[in-house]
Amino acid sequence: MTGRSGREPARTGLTVLGLVMLAGGLMAFFNPFAASMTVAVVAGAAFLLAGLTQLWLSFSDRSEALGGRMIGSLIGVAFVLFAASLLVNPVAGMITLTRAIAILFAVLGVLRLMYALRIRPRHGWGWIAGAGVLSLALAGMIVLGLPGAAADVLGLFLGVDLTLSGIATLALAWHKPWVPGEHVS
């Protein structure tokens, strides 16, 4: 057995994963509304699972004081209610998630600008400031585009993430380094 054949399963697996992610990303670009709906439903399922797990832990863990179990139960109920709102009305869920992304970008933009000003005149501070301005601009564009933007924003973000992750995974697969001690024939 050569060293090359020992690397092939990992390389093949990474190639398949990269191609699947790339295909998923391209599909999200071609139908961002369907991708946004998928994001809302998957987020709803994740919050539902988290809420049910939190509730189970709150009721099953007798080592915790009653007050702690009550707080844990309230957290679980909040997760389940949010999940239900996403799953019952995914379109409204898309708007909610898109607003949350806009808030996240706004907060990141302000924090990046604060950090850039704090490290100025160190080399690279301008790049961080530029990233902060870009984050604020994206937040503004999303807010100004609501509620219509909700139909596409999540799907486009999913498309960008899957496409770039697919490309990175393919690059990793195709440039998998030689492992010392392997014999390449």
Summarised one tens digit per residue, pLDDT across range 130-173 is: 999 999 999 999 999 988 888 899 899 899 999 999 898 898 88
Distance CA 129, CA 111 (A): 10
Residue 139 or residue 174, greater confidence: 139
Share of the chain above pLDDT 70, in %: 90
Residue type for position 38: T
Q: What is the pLDDT of residues 78-88, one digit of tens each?
A: 999 999 999 99
Residue type for position 100: A
Mean pLDDT over 102-128 rounds to 92
Residue 121: asked if its preceding bond is cis (omega within 30°), the reply is yes
Q: Burial code of 15-45, b = ≥16 C-beta within 10 A, e = fewer?
A: bebbeebbebbebbbeebeebbbbbbeebbe
Rg of the chain taking only CA atoms, in angstroms: 22
- Chain centroid offset of residue 124 CA: 26
All residues at 6 or more sequence positions from 69 whose CB lies less than 8 Å from its CB, including other chains: 58, 59, 61
Is this model's pTM higher than 0.85 or not? no
Average pLDDT, the chain: 87
CB-count exposure of residue 161 (10 Å: 0-12, 13-18, 19+): middle
Closest to 185 measured CA to CA, from 7, 14, 27, 2: 2
